[in-house]
A and B are shown apart, each in its own frame.
Chain A
Amino acid sequence: AQRVTQPEKLLSVFKGAPVELKCNYSYSGSPELFWYVQYSRQRLQLLLRHISRESIKGFTADLNKGETSFHLKKPFAQEEDSAMYYCALSGNSGNTPLVFGKGTRLSVIA
């Protein structure tokens, strides 16, 4: 069964400090992994996906199959990064649903 674990409900960091939002997954096949973000009063939106290997708003995430992790990182946090972040997993066939973690609320303190 697919499972996504985000161990931290809340993460508070100071502006300019590095950020790491943890995500671990469980899936028997080859997963596709995503980070979605929900800013205050906005709809949920895709931040990045592992297959594109890009950096969005300074965030990066590397899929580590050995550790079954997909942690989200940013070297210097900004106040506008404060939001709810969800890690999500999909199987590599179209018939598998997208499974979300419980989310981590990031609070960047000025």
Chain B
Amino acid sequence: EAQVTQNPRYLITVTGKKLTVTCSQNMNHEYMSWYRQDPGLGLRQIYYSMNVEVTDKGDVPEGYKVSRKEKRNFPLILESPSPNQTSLYFCASSEVGGSSYEQYFGPGTRLTVT
């Protein structure tokens, strides 16, 4: 089944403790992206990647890192999480050509930083 998977689905952590949220897609998509969803603010893009080893900042990249060593994986790294990073995070992927193609979303990761 073609899909985007994220792990973990739920995470509660403390301020400053490094964490990684994994994202994997099995559709051979070149474009991958991370968003955070907050009430009243909608979806905001954190980082995106046009292809392996190519990443770019989105609207809200501060406090986040990403890597794209393989086509299928696009992990989101929080080196030193803070409470303002408590949010619902979505990974998405799409075909070659980037954001103008339909994006397929993962199920979301709900992160709470205390």
Residues of A within 8 A of B (CB): 6, 9, 32, 34, 36, 43-46, 49, 86, 90-103
**Stretch from B21-29, B77-85, B102-110 forming part of the interface with A:** B102-110
A84 vs chain B, min Cβ distance (A): 9
Please tell me if the beta carbons of A102 and B42 are within 8 angstroms of each other in the complex: yes
Please tell me if the beta carbons of B100 and A90 are within 8 angstroms of each other in the complex: yes
Residues of B within 8 A of A43 (CB): 90, 105-108
Residues of A within 8 A of B45 (CB): 97-100
| Residue of A whose beta carbon sits closest to that of B98 | A94
Known contacts A96-B98, A96-B99, A97-B45; is A102 also within 8 Å of B108 by CB? no
Please tell me if the beta carbons of B48 and A97 are within 8 angstroms of each other in the complex: yes
Please tell me if the beta carbons of A97 and B58 are within 8 angstroms of each other in the complex: yes
Residue B56 interfacial (CB < 8 Å): yes
Q: How many residues of B contact A (CB 8 A)?
A: 27
Residues of B within 8 A of A90 (CB): 98-100
Number of A-B contacts (CB under 8 A): 63
A72 vs chain B, min Cβ distance (A): 15
Per the 8 Å Cβ criterion, residues 30-64 of B in contact with A are 31, 33, 35, 40-45, 48, 50, 56, 58-59
Residues of B within 8 A of A (CB): 31, 33, 35, 40-45, 48, 50, 56, 58-59, 90, 92, 96-100, 102-103, 105-108
Secondary structure of the A contact surface, majority rule? loop
Residues of A within 8 A of B41 (CB): 102
Please tell me if the beta carbons of A49 and B102 are within 8 angstroms of each other in the complex: yes
Residues of A within 8 A of B40 (CB): 9, 102
Partner of A95, one of B50, B96, B107: B50
Q: Looking at A45, A94, A101, A103, which has the most chain B CB atoms within 10 Å of its CB?
A: A94
